[in-house]
Structure 1
């Protein structure tokens, strides 16, 4: 799996409360510490899921699989099922415009809370865990090194850090723009996610049928 193939999935990772949370955190009193803790928590959980999925994929070896299918074909099939699940989940939640009830706690968040939130949201939110597992198993199926996921992880973290970076660079102008960006992402993120998932489904099908 090439770096260019894996990068678009970063958009799926941050769509929804994953990007809404750092926008809120960027406007808190301890925004520097909160934003850093959130991104660090996300880094740990994303990396953990990818590595575990990759190791499980590579441990299957190159032998025969179910009904004579090769191990690689089975891995691609697993990726395809995961992606379709993510697509269905994203579509079903497309009309959920209200943020989760717990998001109100972000106005008084602490770095400890922010770290836990980043770890849980980016590691174990349904679409995120599916995406991370897809990346790990896809790399394993292609015999690519797990380090090829570095670009995917870094881009995801960079997008999550953008709200706090904006406040750092632009100050009050960024604080005024963040609510507008938050509302747009909340209303349209599902469309972007579906488009990226569809692209990755096509790439997986190409490899599966090759």
Structure 2
């Protein structure tokens, strides 16, 4: 994907409840099983989401990426405006923002629920929809095929898998550290959301 920094985009996909769910799953009684189910959902949802966005973008006359007045670039400028508004909202409401209540139900999740969460947390999360839309627009503007999005999909899956990989490589240390990381992210979800917006704004405008 020439012109897009794949790894920061993948990080933006997972920053927020998405990576928090990954961390929670490795603290459950069956961490590997439910984490694999979650990662499968992430992989399928990201692959399908990018395909849909590429298909929609291909139907529109987006113009060239070098043309600041092209439809594709105007759409991305609108997305930047929405992200700025979201970041300001998170800052203003930082004292009252709490992580989604569904995160608290993940400790008892089984394989099927983990798979479902992986699908929904990508396909229904506004920030992820925006990222995948940007990827689709970039591909369409550069006459690139779906194969060009595979590095992005793989990077997203890798970022999602980091808590599980850490658990498998550093079992006891990771098991001890993950609850603390989980609690910190729960209390600083507003900051995580602002950072995600900031990273994505930079990526769009660069």
2:71 to 51, 64, 74: 74
Determine the structure 2 residue equivalent to 1:28: 28
- 1:26 to 1:48, Cα distance in 2 relative to 1, 3 A: same
Contact 1:6 1:152 in 2 (8 A): yes
**1:193 CA displacement:** 1.3
Structure 2 stretches of 5 or more lacking a match? none
Structure 1 stretches of 5 or more lacking a match? 64-69, 204-210
- 1:148 to 1:84, Cα distance in 2 relative to 1, 3 A: farther
TM-score under structure 1 normalisation? 0.83
Distance 1:174 1:3 in 2: 35
Contact 1:3 1:152 in 2 (8 A): no
- 1:53 to 1:119, Cα distance in 2 relative to 1, 3 A: same
Task: Name whichever of 73-82 and 187-196 sits farther off.
Answer: 187-196
Deviations 1:176-208 (A, max 9, x none): 1113333444524234313312212323xxxxx
1:85 to 77, 82, 87: 82
**1:175 CA displacement:** 1.3
- 1:7 to 1:171, Cα distance in 2 relative to 1, 3 A: closer
RMSD of aligned C-alpha atoms? 2.4
Contact 1:79 1:138 in 2 (8 A): no
Determine the structure 1 residue equivalent to 2:199: 196
Matched, 1:136 2:136: yes
Contact 1:39 1:115 in 2 (8 A): yes
Task: Name whichever of 103-112 and 52-61 sits farther off.
Answer: 52-61
- 1:12 to 1:127, Cα distance in 2 relative to 1, 3 A: same
Determine the structure 2 residue equivalent to 1:123: 123
Query: Helix, strand or coil: the match of 1:93?
Result: helix
TM-score under structure 2 normalisation? 0.84
Deviations 1:128-172 (A, max 9, x none): 111111111121112222222222211111111111111111112
Matched, 1:12 2:12: yes
